[in-house]
Amino acid sequence: MNLTDSIKRTTLHEELVERLRNLVVEDVLKPGEKVPEKQLCDSLGVSRTPLREALKVLASEGFVVLQANRGARVSSVTREELENTFPVLATLEQLAGELACQRMNSAETQQIESRHKDMLNAYDSRDRQAYFKANQDIHQALIRGSRNDILESHHTLLAARVRRARFMANLSGERWAQAIDEHETMMELLRARDADGLGKSMKLHMMNKLSALVKALEAEDESLS
C-alpha cells in the first residue's frame, strides 16, 4: 500500500490564493482595478473570511495593494518596478545556473534538451504561445535543478510578478532571434557543465530581456502620445 502521496487536503483560502493569483497573472483582474470582495465572493461561491485571508497573502506577495478601509487593488507593475525586479531575477537565475550545472542529473538535462527542441520548433513556426510555454519550462527546470527551495520560491514569485508584462510586450523579430541565440549558448554551456559560464549567460539573458521589454514599452508610449 502506497501512502506517500498523501491525501490532498487543501483549505479554501489556499485554493483562493492560487485562483486569485492566476487571475492577476493572467490579466483577468487588470492592474489598478478594485477587487470588490462581495462580488468576488459571489462569483467564487465563498464567504468573505477565506477570501480576505487570501487577499492578505496576495498583498504580502505584492500582487495586490491593501489600503485600510478601502479594500484591495490589483497592483500595477510600473517600469521602475520592472527595472528593479529584473536584476534580482537575473542574479537568482545566475545562481540557479551555477548550481544546476553541478547538481542536475542526466534525466533532468535531457528533459531540458527536449524542451529546447520544442522551443526551436515553436520559433520556426512563429508560435508565440508555444514558445513562451517552452521557454518558461526551460527556465523553471533550470531553477528546479538548483535543488534550492528558497531560491525556487523567491524566483517563482518574482517571475509571476513580471509575467504579465512579458506577455504584453510582444517581442520583436530581432529580439526573438537574439533570445534563441542566447538559449543555444546556454545549452552548450550546460552540456559542457560550465557552471560559471551558464550562470553568467543566464544573467545576461535576463538583463537582455529587460532591455527589450523597456524598449518595447517606450515604443508603446510614443505611439500613444
Partner DNA sequence: AAAGTTAATTATGAATTCATTATTCAGTCA
Partner DNA sequence: TGACTGAATAATGAATTCATAATTAACTTT
**Between 37 and 108, CB nearer to DNA:** 37
Question: Cβ(40)–Cβ(51) under 8 Å?
Answer: yes
Question: Cβ(64)–Cβ(75) under 8 Å?
Answer: yes
| Min dist. Cβ of residue 50 to a copy of itself (A) | 10
**Among 21-29, 30-38, 78-86, 141-149, the segment contacting DNA (CB under 7 A):** 30-38
Report if residue 88 touches a copy of itself, rule: CB under 8 A.
yes
**Between 64 and 89, CB nearer to DNA:** 64
Question: Using CB under 7 A, which of 25, 57, 65, 66 touches DNA?
Answer: 66
Sheet containing strand 34-35, strands side by side: 34-35, 71-74, 64-67
Report if residue 58 touches DNA, rule: CB under 7 A.
no
Length of the chain equals 225
At 66, which helix (H) or strand (E)? strand 64-67
Nearest to 42 by CA among 51, 34, 53, 55: 51
Report if residue 9 touches DNA, rule: CB under 7 A.
yes
Residues in contact with DNA by the rule CB under 7 A: 9, 11-13, 34-38, 46-50, 52, 66, 68-72
